[in-house]
Amino acid sequence: MISSDRSPASGTRFGRSVAIALASGALLAAGHLAGCASEQPAGPREYLDERTAATITVAGESMVFAYDRPDLGVNARDYVTLTAVDVNTAGRHATHLVGYAWSTLDKRAVKESDSRYEIVADDRTLPLQAMPAGFRSIGVDEPPIPVPSRDALPLTAPVTRDQLQFLRDTPGVRVVRTRDGVMERFDLWRAPGH
Amino acid sequence: MQVRFSAGPDCGRATASEPPPLLAGAAGYVRSIDLVRPFGSDVQVLIGWSRAETFVLTPSMDGRLLRVRLLRAETPQVTVQEMPQGTSTYAVNLASSTTPFTPDALAAAAKVAGTRTYVSATVVDEQRWYRLRAGPFVNEAAARQALANSRSEFPKAWIAISDDDTLNEIGTPSGVATVRSTAPQVNASMTPDEIKQTMAQAKDAFRHKNYATAIPLLTQLTQQPEFPQRADAQEMLALARERSGQVAHAKAEYEDYLQRYPTGSGATRVRKRLQALAWASRPGRSGAADSDHDESPWRVYGGFSQIYRQDQSHLESGLAVSDLTTQNALLTDVSLVARRHGERFDFTTRASAGYGYDMLSDGPGSQSRVSLFFAEMTDRIAGWYARLGRQAGGSAGLMGTFDGMQAGYQLWPRLRVNGFFGFPVDSTLEGPDSERKFVGVSADVGTLANAWDFSFYAVDQQYSGVTDRQAVGTEVRYFRPGITVVGIADFDIHYSTLNTMMLLGTFALPARWTLNLNLDHRKSPGLATRNAMIGQPVRRFDELFGLYTPQEIEQLALDRTSESTMYSAGVSRPFGERWQWSLDASTMTLGSTRESGGVAATPASGTDTAISTQALGYGLFGRGDVTSLGLQYQTGESSQVLSLGIGTQLPIGERWRVGPRLRLDQRKLEIDRSTSLTYSPALRAEMRGKHLTFEVEGGAEFGSRDMGTLSEDTNRYYFSLGYRYDF
């Protein structure tokens, strides 16, 4: 699994810079894969989270994965939106992928049940942890990206620069949701800059 | 001091014997350190102090160390101890592939990495992957060194930690020399003959629904190393547990099956069973009851609905004022489907009927209708089916509903032949009419090249002994991911003329654009001898024979039949996650008809052209709402119409949906140069429960027409209220 690769990307200024650059690069690379390389993603954005006193650096725009449900709606879908962030808590840096699982499908059309999300790149998987109460436990209170809908489920995963690099270099990165033993694949819907 | 750790997924697999923790540097403070595994992956560290201590525990930043700070009156001392030999073992994953690595690749990789290599296998997202690895290494530093050595040759190399059997093997890394199966071999206690015998016993018990006997036998089988029928044994075990009401165990077995055999022959079936189990275990459903229900080969479902509708119009034209109620009715509909799914035969019967209770004194009167009423039998082994009763046509040259029979036989795997006979139904308000009857045959060919399906048909329809329609035709369907094309051609051999030619296509283009094309050229109405009745003072077809010769009747039919041609094209694509935009353009031409038999000619309609665009927004106000914005311009020889529409459907709570909408139409009529403007607001609300749905809708149309010296105002109000019960 991707998370087994414990690269010391955090803890140094260099590590933080590289991590964010790679995060941007990984997300940009996904844009190349989608065939829209001419557009550039927005640059990293930094803000001070006033509740956690952490400095949050957000890597450009989000990447979005979509799961089509043509049986339930022609244009409505389930989505997972993710972005990479560096959380600087008093000089201690940690890089995370954060985002939301959300949907534009009518609730009545789908059954709700416990779900497990993970990013899959080739044979490596990166589990995304559901955080229904928000990102506070990783030092983020103010959401780094807009909350897509009221019932969006926050997701996060710690990442290293090696993992981000692997994501960048791997075509066909996707998110897989497992619920009730059934796997549902979210393909890349929108990459940064699109 | 007791500290309990919950091992994460990357912390390595638990081993039966943990090395005793070292007390280096802690002598004098610590009397003992013990590791205990209370349950699961938890690890409990028990530290016995040499004397009573006050202490503070602090985890390190990376979570790999635990600092214990003793708080003593004397000079404080901090003890930091990292495990010299971590419980994890490491490897460098040099490359991953969906095909196995050759021994040569293994040897070449070993040369590059400067250490041993091996291959492990794993399943990710239902895909089996082979991993070419260097190692194992006992510490991360050695793994990182090997990674550095390999990066130039294997740019996507990464460090793996205790994530395969090789890395989790108890013993020294030097013991790794061969590739082993990833399947755990729990209890390899049975010989092949015993496996065969036990499998037979288990199958026999399963067949006789003796699950109590089958389950232990199958459990024993699934504990054996991989053997050819192991997948079958595990599927049977899961099914036996499910039918015994052991839902959780069944679910676990199904999930394990999918992990082991993601592409196995039964994987699709197992996935469906698992989905069905999950659905059945939803809150509000009784597992036992549903289990029993699922055992029944019968499924019966349907619905009953009643809706009250009222429609009123108010017209003011100059000094004239009129009020009119155009509808005041209670509409009742019922539908019923009963299916029996057997080992060999499937039986389906379906009925759909309605009754309209007209409360107008001068209305059309109360009417009943039967839309569908048929029974169907299918023999899946022999490959035939037959359906008898009132049914929908629409294919093989059968236009609309008919009373009759159709049957088919699968002659070869890619050829099915069908036969039809019956009586066309002009109106579902009426019963069978044997005056007009047809027979037809068709052949369905396909699927060829994984994309093409063809149907060829011939149909002969007689009306009072006269050929009404005699046609041959074909339907061609092409389905490929991203491309769908359907073509239909119908040629009337009696009149020697093309009746219908239609081509529909949908194409997925780059950047999520979708292109739709529709080319449609047809006789209007569809060519049939009965068209001769149009405009004639007769109520029955055979009355024409007293007025015209058969040749004259056929000529009248041709004269009353026009031709229509329609071309349309549209593009659409999503914008972002919430919007879908489409643009459509179409033209339609309706040809003229000749004067004959006392019926006046009708001129050609000219070409009507319409262009429309629509934007659909999803989840703009929350989850599940849909908003539409539409604009259309239509122009022809008789009028120009500009329309604007906006509407939305908003969820309110779990059950209610409210949908307000508004439409504006501006119309210019060429005939009198008048202009009309119509506003049409409406509101619809719906409450859907588990079986019961209520709906209410109300709306109005406020129209004003300016004819220069005269103006006309038309107001229309409509209202409906109803419910539907589905079972």
Query: How confident is the model over B360-404, as pLDDT tens digits?
Result: 988 889 999 999 999 999 998 888 999 999 998 877 788 789 999
First-to-last C-alpha distance (Å) of chain B: 62
Distance separating alpha carbons of residues B96 and B89, to the nearest angstrom? 19
Asked if residue B7 and residue B75 are part of one domain, the reply reads yes
Please give the DSSP secondary-structure letter assigned to residue B599: B
* pLDDT beyond 60 at B222: yes
Over range B305-321, report the average pLDDT. 91
* pLDDT beyond 50 at B17: no
* pLDDT beyond 90 at B195: no
How many domains, in total, are found in chain A? Answer: 1
* pLDDT beyond 60 at B111: yes
Give me the residue from A1, A113, A162 closest to B163, CB to CB.
A1
How many domains, in total, are found in chain B? Answer: 4
Distance separating alpha carbons of residues B92 and B140, to the nearest angstrom? 10
Q: Does A38 touch chain B (CB under 8 A)?
A: no
Omega cis (within 30) before B192: no
> What pLDDT digit, counting tens, does each position of B629-680 carry?
999 999 998 899 999 999 999 999 888 999 999 999 999 998 888 999 999 9
What's the pLDDT score for residue B175?
A: 35
In this structure, is residue B238 part of a structural domain?
A: yes
Among B360, B366, B368, which residue's Cα sits nearest to residue B327?
B360
Residue B143's closest chain A neighbor by CA? Answer: A5
- CATH classification of the domain holding B212: 1.25.40.10
| Structure-token match 């197992």, residue found | B270
Backbone angles phi, psi at B632, to 5 degrees: -140, 140
Over range A101-117, report the average pLDDT. 81
What's the pLDDT score for residue B279?
A: 62
Residue A147's closest chain B neighbor by CA? Answer: B622
What's the pLDDT score for residue B675?
A: 93
* pLDDT beyond 60 at B238: yes
| CB–CB contact B623 A64 (8 Å) | no
CB neighbour class for A68 (10 Å; exposed up to 12, middle 13-18, buried from 19) = middle
* pLDDT beyond 60 at A16: no
Answer with the residue of higher pLDDT: B232 or B659: B659
Exposure letters B592-627 (e unless 16+ CB within 10 A, then b) = ebbebbebeeeeebeebbbebbbebbbbeeebbbbb
Q: What is the largest CA-CA distance in chain A?
A: 49
Give me the residue from A77, A111, A123 closest to B96, CB to CB.
A123
Q: Does A4 touch chain B (CB under 8 A)?
A: yes
Among B113, B161, B154, B107, which residue's Cα sits nearest to residue B138?
B161
Min distance B721 CA to chain A CA atoms (Å)? 22
What's the pLDDT score for residue B718?
A: 96
Q: Are B719 and B698 in contact (CB under 8 A)?
A: yes
Exposure letters B367-392 (e unless 16+ CB within 10 A, then b) = beebbbbbebbbeeeeebbebbbbbe
Q: Which of residues 344-383 of B touch A (CB under 8 A)?
A: none
Among B9-13, B203-207, B242-246, where is mean pLDDT lowest? B9-13
Min distance A47 CA to chain B CA atoms (Å)? 23
What's the pLDDT score for residue B155?
A: 86
Min distance B568 CA to chain A CA atoms (Å)? 21
Asked if residue B273 and residue B309 are part of one domain, the reply reads no
Among A69-73, A169-173, B610-614, B642-646, where is mean pLDDT lowest? A69-73
Answer with the residue of higher pLDDT: B381 or B439: B439
In this structure, is residue B408 part of a structural domain?
A: no
Distance separating alpha carbons of residues B343 and A183, to the nearest angstrom? 30
| Strand residue runs (E) in B546-691 | 562-575, 579-590, 606-618, 626-635, 639-652, 656-669, 674-688
Among A39-43, B182-186, B633-637, where is mean pLDDT lowest? B182-186
Distance separating alpha carbons of residues B569 and B610, to the nearest angstrom? 11
Distance separating alpha carbons of residues B20 and B83, to the nearest angstrom? 11
Distance separating alpha carbons of residues A26 and B533, to the nearest angstrom? 72
> What pLDDT digit, counting tens, does each position of A87-106 carry?
998 888 999 999 999 999 88
Domain that holds residue A9: 2-190
Asked if residue B231 and residue B166 are part of one domain, the reply reads no
pTM of the entire predicted model? 0.70
Give me the residue from A76, A120, A181 closest to B258, CB to CB.
A181
In this structure, is residue B52 part of a structural domain?
A: yes
Among B168, B180, B176, which residue's Cα sits nearest to residue B12?
B168
Asked if residue B290 and residue B303 are part of one domain, the reply reads no
* pLDDT beyond 60 at B333: yes
ipTM for the predicted complex comes to 0.78
Interface test with A, best of B158, B234, B268 (most A CBs within 10 A): B158
Where a domain ends, among B247, B275, B295? B295
- DSSP element (H, E) containing B288: helix B287-295
* Positive or negative torsion for Cα B356, B359, B361, B362: negative
Distance separating alpha carbons of residues B624 and B618, to the nearest angstrom? 7
Asked if residue B290 and residue B197 are part of one domain, the reply reads yes
Over range B466-471, report the average pLDDT. 94
Number of H helices, E strands in chain A: 2, 10
In this structure, is residue B186 part of a structural domain?
A: no
pLDDT band at B417 (very low <50, low <70, confident <90, very high): very high
Q: Are A154 and A137 in contact (CB under 8 A)?
A: no
Where a domain ends, among B359, B375, B391? B375
Distance separating alpha carbons of residues A93 and A55, to the nearest angstrom? 9
Q: Are B134 and B142 in contact (CB under 8 A)?
A: no
The two structure tokens encoding residue B575: 């914008």
* pLDDT beyond 80 at B471: yes
In this structure, is residue B380 part of a structural domain?
A: no
Domain that holds residue B239: 192-295
What's the pLDDT score for residue A40?
A: 37
Exposure letters A147-179 (e unless 16+ CB within 10 A, then b) = ebbeebbbbbbbbbbbbbbbbbebeebbbbbeb
Asked if residue B273 and residue B308 are part of one domain, the reply reads no
Over range B579-608, report the average pLDDT. 94
Q: Are B387 and B403 in contact (CB under 8 A)?
A: no
Percent of chain B with pLDDT over 70: 86
Distance separating alpha carbons of residues B713 and B702, to the nearest angstrom? 8
Top mean-pLDDT range of A159-173, B243-257, B548-562 = B548-562
pLDDT band at B115 (very low <50, low <70, confident <90, very high): confident
pLDDT band at B137 (very low <50, low <70, confident <90, very high): confident
Write the CB contacts of A164 (distance below 8 Å, at least 6 apart in sequence): A19, A22, A23, A25, A26, A84, A95
Where a domain ends, among B241, B272, B295? B295
Min distance B448 CA to chain A CA atoms (Å)? 25
Asked if residue B291 and residue B255 are part of one domain, the reply reads yes
| Strand residue runs (E) in chain A | 45-49, 54-58, 63-68, 77-89, 92-103, 116-121, 124-130, 153-158, 174-179, 182-190
> What pLDDT digit, counting tens, does each position of B500-543 carry?
999 999 999 998 999 999 999 999 999 999 999 999 999 889 89
* pLDDT beyond 60 at B60: no
Answer with the residue of higher pLDDT: B296 or B150: B150
Percent of chain A with pLDDT over 90: 37
Residues of B in contact with A183 (CB under 8 A): 125-126
* pLDDT beyond 50 at B47: yes
Mean pLDDT, chain B, rounded, equals 84
The two structure tokens encoding residue A69: 């449900």
CB neighbour class for B463 (10 Å; exposed up to 12, middle 13-18, buried from 19) = buried
Min distance B162 CA to chain A CA atoms (Å)? 8
> What pLDDT digit, counting tens, does each position of B75-98 carry?
544 444 444 444 567 889 999 988
In this structure, is residue B289 part of a structural domain?
A: yes
What's the pLDDT score for residue B564?
A: 96
Residue A4's closest chain B neighbor by CA? Answer: B10
pLDDT band at B172 (very low <50, low <70, confident <90, very high): very low
Asked if residue B285 and residue B204 are part of one domain, the reply reads yes
The two structure tokens encoding residue A156: 């996060």
Min distance A51 CA to chain B CA atoms (Å)? 21
| CB–CB contact B619 A149 (8 Å) | yes
In this structure, is residue B350 part of a structural domain?
A: yes
Q: Does A111 touch chain B (CB under 8 A)?
A: yes
Distance separating alpha carbons of residues B684 and B719, to the nearest angstrom? 10
